[in-house]
Amino acid sequence: MPEFRSRWNRSERRQLIWLGIWLAVLAAVFAQVEIQIEGADGWAARLPTWRIEHHWLLEVFWGGRPLTGYHAWVFLFMFLVFHFALVIQGRPSLRLELRVLGLLAVFWIVEDFLWFMMNPAYGLSRFKPEHIPWHHHWLLGMPADYGIYLLAGAALIGLSFRRRRRTVMEGETR
Cβ atoms 174, 165 nearer than 8 A: yes
**Per-residue tens of pLDDT for the chain, all 174 residues:** 555 455 778 888 899 999 999 999 999 999 999 999 999 999 999 999 999 999 999 988 888 899 999 999 999 999 999 999 999 999 889 999 999 999 999 999 999 999 999 999 999 999 999 999 999 999 999 999 999 999 999 999 999 988 765 544 545 454
Task: Say if residue 161 is exposed, middle or buried (CB neighbours under 10 Å; 0-12, 13-18, 19+).
Answer: middle
**Residue 58: inside a domain:** yes
Give the bridge partners for 173, in sequence order: 167
**Residue 124: inside a domain:** yes
How many distinct structural domains can be found in the chain?
1
**Residue 167: inside a domain:** no
Cβ atoms 16, 8 nearer than 8 A: yes
Query: Which range marks the domain in which residue 141 is found?
Result: 10-161
Give counts: helices (H), strands (E), the chain.
5, 4
Give the bridge partners for 139, in sequence order: 142
**Residue 1: inside a domain:** no
**Residue 166: inside a domain:** no
**Residue 79: inside a domain:** yes
Give the bridge partners for 143, in sequence order: 138
Give the bridge partners for 81, in sequence order: none
**Residue 5: inside a domain:** no
**Residue 174: inside a domain:** no
* pTM (two decimals): 0.87
The alpha-helical segments, DSSP class H, found in 67-143 are: 69-89, 94-118
Cα separations (Å) of 89 from 21, 86, 166?
22, 5, 25
